[in-house]
A and B are shown apart, each in its own frame.
Chain A
Amino acid sequence: MSKLKSKIPEGPLAEKWTRHKNSVKLVNPANKAKLDIIVVGTGLSGASAISTLAELGYNIKAFCFQDSPRRAHSVAAQGGINAAKNYKNDGDSVFRLFNDILKGGDYRSREANVYRAAEVSNQTIDQLVAAGVPFAREYSGYLDNRSFGGVQVSRTFYAKGQTGQQCLLGAYSGMIRQIAKGKVTMYNRRDMLDLVIIDGKARGIITRNLVTGEIERHSAHAVVLASGGYGTIYYLSTLAVGSNATAAWAAHKKGAFFSNPSFVQIHPTSIPQLNDYQAKLTLMSESLRNDGRIWVPKKKGDKRHPVDIPKDERDYYLERRYPAFGNLVPRDVASRAAKERCDAGYGVGESGLSVYLDFSRAIERLGKKAIENKYGNLFEMYEKITGINPYNEPMRIYPAGHYTMGGLWVDYNLMTTIPGLFAIGESNFSDHGANRLGAGSLMQCAGDGYFILPVTIGDYLADEIKTPKISTDSSEFDKAEKESHDKLSKLMAVNGTQTVTSFHRRLGRIMWDLCGMVRNEKGLKKAMKEIASLREEFWKDVKIPGTIDEVNQELEKAVKVADFMELGKLMCQDAINRKESCGAHFREESQTPEGEAQRIDDEYSYVASWEYLGEGNDHALHQEKLAFDNVKMQERSYK
C-alpha cells in the first residue's frame, strides 16, 4: 500500500488543480530545449501532448505503429466530447460533470483526478475549436450540444458521427506543425517492445521498425505512454484491429503497476457479429439512443419482421426497467440489459443475439430530414454493412467490447510507479472508475494531453535539467534490446501449425464468455485455467511465416497476442479479487434482488493495482483506498 502515493494536492476539491499548478516546479525555456521526451502513441492524448510539449520547447520523439499518426484509433470515436460549458443553460457546471463521471464510474475513481478532468474540459473545447475542429453549430453560428447516455444535461459537443476523427485531426495538425518546426521527430511504423530503465528511471524504449524489422533504441529524459486501451483482447471488439497492449504491458513488466484491469466497458450499440470470419465489430454511436428506442418482442422467439410486430407486443425493456433514464441509461446498464433479454430467449436475429434499435417514432416526431442531419452518416454506415435501411426498419444491435477503464496506475501527475514514465489517455486508469460515460473518452484524452501532462511532467523534469542527453550505449539498453530480440526469435522459432489469429479468436472467446459483461468466480477461475493452457499451446504451436527482418504482419500480431495471454490472466485475477459488482464489472454473486449491480463500498472502495513479480509468479495486489469527501456515494440508480 505504501508504494502507491497518489500525490493528490491539499486543499478544497475545486482548488486542488489551481494550487497544484501554482506549486509545481517549472523548467525554464532554455532548459526545456535540452530535454527529450518520448511519446508512444499519437491518438488524441498523444498528439495533443506532443504538440503542447513541443510548443513548450521540449524535444519530442513520437512513435506510432500506423503509417501515419493521423490513423490512431481516436479517429473512430463517434458521438462526441463532453464539456461543462453550460451553453444550454440547463444547470450544468464543472461540479455536475465531475459528479456525473464519478457516479457513472460507480465511485471507483479518484475524486481529485475526475474533478480536474471536468475542470479542463472547457479549455479543451476552446483549444479544439481554435485548431479548426468543425463542431456542429446552430444557425446562430454558435456551437450546438446534444445529450448523451447517462446524464440529464446537454453538454456533448459533436461533429456528426465523426467527432473523434475531427478532434484527432485537430490535435494531429498541431503536432505536424511541430514536426515541420523540427521540435518533433516522428517515428511511424514502430512497435514499442520494451521500456528501458536506468537507475530506476524510465530513460528510453526499444522499438521494432515494422518496415525493416530492425530493433531500435531510443532514449529520452522521460517516457510518456499514450498507447490506448486493450479491448482487442476480446478479438472481436469495436477497436481497430491493430490496437494492442504491448507498450503498456512492457511497462508493466518493467515495474509499472496495472490498475483495475478487469474494468472493461462493453458498448451496448454495436452491429452484431454477422459471420465467423469477422475481424471486428462496428460500433454504432451511443448518440443514437437519444432518438432510438430499444426493444425486443414480448413473445419469446417471435420471428415476425420487426415492423410487423405491433407496438403493444414490443418490450421497450430499458424504458420499462429504468423509467427515469429510459434508453439513456449508462452503457454498462444498457449492455447487461440486452444480454439479459437475449439470454432469456427474447433476442432477435438469426442467432438470437441482438435487440432492436428503432427510430420510427423519432422519424414520425421530428421528420426524416432532422434524423438524417443528426445521424445520416451512421445510418449509411449501418446500411453499408448490413444492407438494411434503418429509416425503414429498426437496426439490430448487440453489445461489444469497447473501452478499457483499467490501465497503468498513475498518480495525480499522471506518472506511473516508474519514475519518469507517464501514462495518459486510455492507457491509464485514472478518470473513469468502473465505467466510462459516453463522450468522456475524448474529453479525458485531450485534457490529459493538452492541459494536464504538460504541466505535471515539468515537475519531474525540473530535477532532470542537469542530466545530459541519455546515451543508448549502456548495459540497460543492451539488455533490453537483447530481450526484445530474444522474444521475437523465440516466437519465430516455435514454427508450429496454428495461425496467430486462431489463438486470438480462442482467447477472445474465453474472455468474452467468462470475463465479459457478467462474471462469476467459478467462470473466472475456469478462464484462468483455460488461458494458461491456451498460452502453453500458443508457445508450442503458433505458426509465424517469414522472418524478423522484413514487414511481417503475422509477427506483429503474435507479439500482441502473446501479451494478451498474460494480460487476460491478470484481468481474470482482478475480476476474481473484486467480489462486488461495480460499473462494468458485474459479479453475479453481488446483485440486488432486482438484478442490479451491488457495490460493496466497505470492502472494495479501492483501486486494485497489480505488481508484476516475474514470469511464473502471481501478481501482487496493492490497494489505493479511495476517499470521497465531496460527494456522497450513492447507489447508481437510473430508475
Chain B
Amino acid sequence: MEIKLKIWRQKNATSEGTFIDYILTGVSEEMSFLEMLDFLNTTLIERGDEPVAFEHDCREGICGSCSLYINGRPHGPGNLVTTCELRMTRFKDGDNIVVEPWRAKSFPVIKDLIADRSAFDKIMEAGGFISVNTGSAPEANSIPIMKEASDEAFDAATCIGCGACVAACKNSSAMLFVAAKVSHLALLSQGRAESARRARAMVTKMDELGFGSCTNTGACEAECPKGISLAHIARLNREFLKAGIKS
C-alpha cells in the first residue's frame, strides 16, 4: 500500500524543527510501524537523504525506548501497545500519518523524533527505590506478602518508563509514572517504611522538573501501553497526604 507520512524533522536540540512530507509506496500490512520507518529510512539513505532518527531497542514492547506520537496519540491508534508493537494492519492504502516526537517542556527533542526523557531518571533518583544495601536483605520468605497486594504491586511495576503518560496528558504531567513507582513500593511491606517520604520526594522532583499537575482526565491510563491504572495515582495521593500530615 501507499501511505502519506508527515514527519517531524529537527536537526538537533537547538535548531527549529518542521514537518516534512513523504510518500511511501510498497508498504506491507505485515510490517510493524517501526519496520515501516526502517523501510522509509532505507529509501531515504539510498536516495542520499538523511534517515529519520527515532528511538527503539527491544522491539517487543518492554524496554520503553520507542516513543512516537502518531496521528494525535502516543504509540498510535489502539490501546495497550507500544509503537514497536503497532502493526501496519491498523492503516490502509492512502492514509495520512502524522508522526511527532513526545512533546513536553521536560522532554526536549534531541533530534527528529527523539525526545530526551532523562527527567524520568531524575524523578526516580528522588526516591524510586527501597534503601536496602546489598547483603542486608533478610531471607526472602521471611517477608510474606498478600498475593493480592503483590499482584497489584506487580501491575504497577510493569511501567516501562516510555513517557506515553506525559505525552498524552494535556498538562504533561508525570503523575502516572510517579504513581506507578510509589504504588508498587508502597504495596510491599519492604517498601512501606519509606513510602510517604518517597511520595513527597518524587512529586516535588516532578514539579521541579517542569511536569504539569494531574487533572484526572484519565488520558494517561488510556494510553499507557501497560494499562497502569489511575487507582495508583489515588494511592500516590494518599501517600502524599500522609507525608503532609507527618511533616
Contact = CB atoms under 8 A, between A and B. Distances in A.
B53 A173 contact: no
Contacts of B51: 545, 553-554
Contact of A278 (B35, B45, B138, B140): B35
B136 to A, nearest CB: 8
A177 B161 contact: no
B129 A277 contact: no
A71 B31 contact: no
B214 interface: no
Which of A132, A140, A180 is the most central at the interface, judged by chain B CB atoms within 10 Å of its CB? Answer: A132
A159 interface: yes
A279 B33 CA distance: 11
B59 A240 contact: yes
Contacts of B62: 75-76, 162, 165
Given A188-B118, A240-B63, A501-B42, A277 B137 contact: no
Contacts of B30: 274-275, 277
B89 to A, nearest CB: 8
A55 interface: yes
Interface in A141-187: 141-143, 159-160, 162, 165-166, 169, 172-174, 176-177, 179-180, 186
Nearest to A177: B129
A543 interface: yes
Interface stretch (A22-30, A61-69, A465-473): A61-69
A131 interface: yes
Interface stretch (A121-129, A362-370, A514-522, A579-587): A121-129
A162 B153 CA distance: 13
Nearest to A129: B140
B34 interface: yes
B174 to A, nearest CB: 14
Given A129-B143, A173-B124, A159 B154 contact: yes
A126 B129 contact: no
B132 A180 contact: no
A160 B147 CA distance: 13
B54 to A, nearest CB: 8
A451 to B, nearest CB: 7
A10 to B, nearest CB: 25
A165 B82 CA distance: 16
B65 to A, nearest CB: 6
Contact of A134 (B38, B118, B124, B150): B150
A173 B127 CA distance: 9
A279 B59 contact: yes
A600 to B, nearest CB: 38
Contacts of A186: 121
Nearest to B116: A67
A242 interface: yes
Contact of B140 (A55, A66, A125, A179): A125
Interface stretch (B1-9, B165-173, B183-191, B235-243): B183-191
Interface residues of A, number: 79
A551 interface: yes
A307 B160 CA distance: 36
A138 B145 CA distance: 9
Contact of A70 (B42, B158, B161, B190): B161
Nearest to B187: A134
Interface residues of B, number: 79
Contacts of A140: 144
Contacts of B247: none
A130 interface: yes
A283 B60 contact: yes
A219 B138 CA distance: 36
Contacts of B110: 211, 551
B128 A173 contact: yes
B128 A141 contact: no
B49 interface: yes
Contacts of B151: 134, 137
B32 to A, nearest CB: 8
B125 A137 contact: no
Nearest to B61: A381
B63 A126 contact: no
A84 to B, nearest CB: 12
B215 interface: no
Contact of B125 (A85, A130, A179, A381): A179
A6 interface: no
Given A176-B124, A384-B81, A241 B184 contact: no
A127 B134 contact: yes
A165 to B, nearest CB: 6
A249 interface: no
A136 B144 CA distance: 12
B143 A169 contact: no
A140 B61 CA distance: 32
Contacts of B121: 68-70, 176, 179, 186, 188
Contacts of B124: 70, 172-173, 176
A551 B114 contact: yes
B132 A131 contact: yes
B50 interface: yes
A545 to B, nearest CB: 5
Contacts of A85: 140-141
B83 to A, nearest CB: 13
A546 B190 CA distance: 50
B10 to A, nearest CB: 10
Contact of A141 (B39, B49, B145): B145
A132 B188 contact: yes
21 contacts: A71-B58, A73-B57, A123-B137, A125-B140, A129-B140, A131-B137, A132-B188, A134-B151, A141-B145, A165-B62, A165-B158, A165-B160, A179-B125, A240-B58, A241-B58, A242-B57, A274-B30, A275-B28, A277-B39, A381-B85, A454-B134
Given A66-B57, A543-B45, 12 more contacts: A68-B120, A68-B121, A131-B129, A132-B188, A134-B151, A141-B147, A179-B121, A242-B57, A280-B58, A283-B60, A499-B46, A545-B50
